[in-house]
Chains A and B, each alone.
Chain A
C-alpha cells in the first residue's frame, strides 16, 4: 500500500517525553509525517525543537511516547528491541554531528564494523573511496581532520547500502568548505543509490539542496515546503 503512494516512512501523532535528571522534556508534541522513496529532506529548526528526537524515532533508536510510525508497511512503534535492531541493521545508515567514530579503530575498521554485520555491503575500501578517502584507510580518528572523520562516518553509514540515511547535523562541527564536501558526498549517495535521506541542520543554506524542507519548532512540524529548484551541494556557501 505504501509502495503505491511511494511512502517509506509514515508517522502519525508522534509525541515524546523524556527525563533529564529531574527535568521532564516534551521533545515531540504531535508530529505527522510522510517520506517518499529517494527523497532528500532537510529538517530545519532551532535547538530543542525536536529534530534529533524525530530522527532517532524514525531510525529505530528511540521509541515515541505516543503515536505510531510505519516503515515500508511495518509498524515500528511497539516493535521489540530485537526487531528494531534488525531494522537498523538492514535498512538504516546514521551520520552524527560529532562523527562518533570509534577512536580505537582505523578508518577501514570503523567501516568494517558495519560491513561485517550487513547482508550486502560494499567493501570498506569501496565505501571510503566513495567519500574520497582511499588514502586514509589505516588512519585512526585522532590522525584525521574533522572533515575526514565525518566522511569516514558517511562511508560507514552508506557501506551497507541502506535504504534510509539519517544525518544529524552532519556539518555542524565543520567549516563551510569541508561541510560542502560532506554534503556533496551525501547528495551523491542519495542520487546514485536512491537512498531516502533526512538531513537535520539549523543552517538554512543547506535547505537549498533538499527536495523538501520541513521546519520544526517546539516539538511540531511548523511548515513543509518543496524546493522547486534545488541547488547542488557543491554550489552551497555559508
Chain B
C-alpha cells in the first residue's frame, strides 16, 4: 500500500461516523435496487421456466358448447401448433369447518388420462385422478393450503345444481393460475375461491355435455400472427356461443404477474435514484469539508510533485471506499430483503418453486451503481482539490464572507438574538448546501410516506369499490341468463331483505381504432345495492339511453361523452350495436360499462333476462340461506361483500406492513445520514467559533442551540417540502402502477403525514443527541491555539 493509500484509509477511519452514515444511505439505495432487481429476475426467470416446462398456452377461448370435431378445424388455422380442448364449469363448494360460500372453477383433464398437452399441472402431492373415477379431483395448492386440505380429504361440490362428493387425490399448481384470482376480483381470496381439475367424463355428466367442449387453449408456432389466429378462432366459435378469444398477454394470472414485474421495475428505478442522489450530495459535502481541512496537506503533496490527477483520485478513492462499504451492506441487505419479498410473493404467486437467487448481474449492477454515485458525489470536491493552487493552499483560507441575513435585511434584526443571526447568516451563506440538505431531508420524509401510501390507497380503493358503490350482502351469479322472476324467488328466501337483478354481459367495446374486452353490467333503474359513483363519490344512475364507462376505460378508448360506442356482444346472439356514452364513473378496480337493465336487454334483444342478483340480508344466521342457495340449480356461485373486505385485510396486511416497515427504516437512514453529517460538518466548520463562545461564557446548552438551531431549521423547512415530495412520489408510483386491472388513487391519510413528521423529528433528535456528546468534548484551549 502506498503512503497516499494509507492516508486514505486513515482519513476514512477518522471520518468513520460520517462515512458510516453515508455508507448506510448508499446501502439503502443499493439494497432497494438489489432487492427489486433480484426479485424481478427471480420472478421473471421462474415464470419463464414454469411457462415453458409446463406448456402454458398462447391463446384461450371459451364457448357455450362446441363439438369435439371442431378441434381439428381449429388445428388447421395457420400458425396453430397444438390444440387442447376441455370442459370448464363453475361450482360452489362446501368445505368442512368453513360455512361461508366458496366458489370454484373446475377444469377437465384429458379423457383418457395423463397430463393435458397445454397448461400441464405440477403435482405438489398425490396423483392425477384415475380416468375412470368420477369423483376424484385435484385442488389448487393455494386453496388447499388455505383450508388445510390434503389428498384423501373430501369436498362437497354443487355443479350446475348437482351436488356431489369429491375425493381429493392430489394438490396441483398450474401455469394458468400462478396468481389464483377470481375473474373480476381485485385480490386473491384463497379461502373463497379455488381451482379444481376433474376427469372429462365426470364433468361431461355434470354439465350434460358429451363429445363437446366449452374451453379451448392453443399453442402457436413461433412467429405466428396471434391477432389473425384470434380472429379465425372467434369466427369458428361464433356459432357455438364463443366468448371471444384472447392471447397470453391478456390472460388474467399472467397479467397480474406482468403488472407486478412492472412495479418492481419502477421500484428498481425510483428508490435507488433517491438514495444515491442523497448519498452523492452527502459525499460532496463531506469531501468538500475534508478538502477544506486538508488544504495544507494538499499543498504539501503538490509541493512535492504529486500531480493534480493523483490528488483528485485520492479523494475519489475515499468516496469509493465509503461506497464499497455501502455496496457490501447494500447487496447483503438487498439479498436479504429480496428473499423476504420472495417469501411474500410465494404466498401470492404459486409456482412449483420460486428460487430466489441473487444473480451476478444484479450484484454487479448494485456495486457499479454504488461506485458511480460515489464518484459523482466526489467529483466536484476532488476537482476542486486538484485545482487548488499549491501556494494558495499554504495560506489559511480568507475569512468567509458573511453578510446580514435576508431576515435582517428585511428589518427583523431586532427580533433576532445574536445566536439566531449566526444561524441564519450561516445558512444563507451556503444556500445550495442548505437547500440540498432540505431536499435530502424532504426525500427522507417522502420515502416514509410512500411506505404507507400503498396502505392508504388500498383503503380508499376498498372503500370506494366495496363500501360506497356496493351495499349488497351477497351477490349471486346464475349459470346462464335467466328470467327476471328469479329475483323474486330469491327475495322469498328466508333472511333475504331485498333482492335486485343484475345482468353482466361479455363484450368487446370499440371506438375508432381502440378496442377493449370487458363486461357491461345492467342495473335496474331503482337499484340501491349497487350504485356506480362519479368522481365526487355521488351515485350515478344509468340513463335509459346510453352507457356509463369507467373513467379509465374512457381514456383507453379515447372516447368522450356523446360519442357512439360500438358494442360487440360476445355471448348469446352476438349482437353488434352502437350506444352513446352518457357519462363516466370513477372506479379504481377493473374497467367496465354500466347500463340500465331494461335498456341493455332491449339493445341485446334476447329477452328480459338477468345473470345474477344482489341480496341484502336481515341480520342473523346465514348458513341456512347458503344451504338454500346451494340447492338452487341455476346458482353458479355466491360471494359475500363483507368477506371480500375481510379477505383484503387478511391478505394484504402482511405485505403492506412489510413495505411500511422497510420504507420507514430506509427513510430514517436517509434522515439520519443527512442530519448527522450536517451536524458534524457544522461542528467541524464552526468548532473554533463555538469553542470561543464557550470561552466567552456561553453554556453547553447555548452553544448546542446554535448548532442545532441550524439543523432544526433545516428539518422544519424540510417537513412541509417532504409532504409535497411524498405526494409527488406517490403520484409517480401510482402513475407507474396504473392499468386497466386497477388504478391507485393518490391519497395519503393525515396519519401518514403525521407518521413522517414524527419519524423525522425522532430521527433528528437521535442524531442530535449523538453529536451533542461532541460539544461537551470541545477542546476550548486546544481549538483556540491551533491554526485553522
Contact = CB atoms under 8 A, between A and B. Distances in A.
Nearest to A103: B297
A136 B395 CA distance: 29
A20 interface: yes
A62 to B, nearest CB: 3
Nearest to A160: B304
Interface string A70-107: 00000000000110011111101110101010101100
A61 B302 contact: yes
Interface of B: 2-4, 6-7, 10-11, 14, 296-297, 299-308, 389-392, 394-395, 398-399, 401, 787
Contacts of A56: 390-391, 394
A98 B295 CA distance: 13
A96 B394 contact: yes
Given A61-B391, A100-B296, A105-B7, A88 B2 contact: no
Nearest to A106: B6
Contacts of B10: 104-105
B305 A113 contact: no
B394 A113 contact: no
Contacts of A116: 2-4
A117 to B, nearest CB: 6
A53 B308 CA distance: 21
A147 interface: no
B389 to A, nearest CB: 7
A226 to B, nearest CB: 29
Interface residues of A, number: 37
Given A61-B302, A88-B302, A100-B297, A110 B390 contact: no
A87 B303 CA distance: 10
A59 B297 CA distance: 17
A125 interface: no
A92 B390 CA distance: 14
Contacts of B2: 112-113, 116
Given A88-B305, A94-B300, A104-B11, A62 B3 contact: no
Given A88-B302, A98-B787, A81 B308 contact: yes
A84 to B, nearest CB: 9
B299 A100 contact: yes
Contacts of A109: 3, 6-7
A114 interface: yes
Contacts of A57: 391
Contacts of A53: 391
Contacts of B392: 18, 62
B304 A117 contact: yes
Nearest to A156: B304
B391 A102 contact: no
A90 B306 CA distance: 11
A63 to B, nearest CB: 8
B7 A104 contact: yes
Interface string A33-77: 000000000000000000011001101011000000000000000
Given A98-B787, A100-B299, A116-B2, A85 B391 contact: no
Given A21-B398, A61-B394, A105-B7, A85 B389 contact: no
Contact of A85 (B296, B300, B305, B401): B305
A111 B121 CA distance: 73
A62 B296 contact: no
Contacts of B390: 56, 61-62
B316 to A, nearest CB: 17
Given A85-B305, A92-B305, 13 more contacts: A62-B390, A62-B391, A85-B306, A88-B305, A89-B304, A94-B303, A100-B394, A102-B297, A110-B3, A112-B3, A113-B301, A113-B304, A160-B304
Nearest to A110: B3
B307 A82 contact: yes
B3 A94 contact: no
Contacts of A18: 392
Contacts of A92: 303, 305
Contacts of B299: 61, 100
Tell which of A104, A109, A112 has the most Cβ of chain B within 10 Å. Answer: A104
What are the 8 A-B residue pairs with the smallest beta carbon separation, nearest first? A89-B305, A62-B391, A104-B10, A113-B3, A21-B398, A56-B391, A61-B391, A88-B305
Nearest to B3: A113
B14 A104 contact: yes
Nearest to B297: A102
Nearest to A114: B304
28 contacts: A21-B399, A52-B394, A53-B391, A57-B391, A61-B391, A62-B391, A82-B307, A85-B306, A85-B308, A86-B305, A90-B305, A92-B305, A93-B304, A98-B787, A100-B299, A102-B297, A104-B11, A104-B14, A105-B3, A109-B7, A113-B3, A113-B4, A113-B304, A114-B305, A116-B3, A117-B304, A117-B306, A156-B304
Contacts of A62: 389-392
Contacts of B399: 21
Tell which of B390, B398, B399 has the most Cβ of chain A within 10 Å. Answer: B390
Contact of B401 (A21, A90, A93): A21
A110 B308 CA distance: 19
A57 B391 CA distance: 8
Nearest to A85: B307
Interface string A116-143: 1110000000000000000000000000
A144 B88 CA distance: 89
Nearest to A108: B3
A105 B9 CA distance: 10
Contacts of B11: 104
Nearest to B9: A104
B262 to A, nearest CB: 49
A20 B390 CA distance: 15
